[in-house]
Amino acid sequence: MNKQTSDNENVLGAHKRFFLSNLPKPNAVVELTVGQEWRLMGKRGHQILFCLHGSVWVTQECDIRDYVLERGDAFVVTLPGLVLVRALTQASIGYAESLVPRPFKGCFSQTVFK
């Protein structure tokens, strides 16, 4: 393999994981042992699952794809129906009810532009 191909693979690999700083914090954290399952009824509210440590397998009703989440990955539930999570290793997952952050309840100071 030449250096250019190797560098391209590194660049593509770097884009597999990313962080969104405005994601909500989990409402609940669930600890799972190897093989243990956790179920969730999906809504159309874009619930989020976070893999906090370990790795989990995720599938949702009416979606032909399956997903494997590792530490730092997030999964957005986009379909109504059953969502099944199974721990592939000892794992911890976080759950947030909605992708939409809470509205700002503070106040802004007045800014004067000249």
- How does pLDDT run across 56-82, given as a tens digit for each residue? 999 998 889 999 999 989 898 888 889
Residue 93 pairs in a beta bridge with: 30, 51
- How does pLDDT run across 11-61, given as a tens digit for each residue? 333 334 444 555 566 778 899 999 999 998 877 667 888 899 999 999 998
Say what the pLDDT of residue 3 is: 43
Task: Please report which confidence band the pLDDT of residue 89 belongs to, taking 50, 70 and 90 as the band edges.
Answer: very high
Q: 79 with 62: CB under 8 angstroms? A: yes
Question: Beta-strand (E) ranges in 1-114?
Answer: 28-32, 37-42, 48-53, 55-60, 66-70, 74-76, 81-87, 91-96
Both tokens assigned to 45: 């509210």
In angstroms and rounded to an integer, the radius of gyration of the C-alpha atoms of the chain is 18
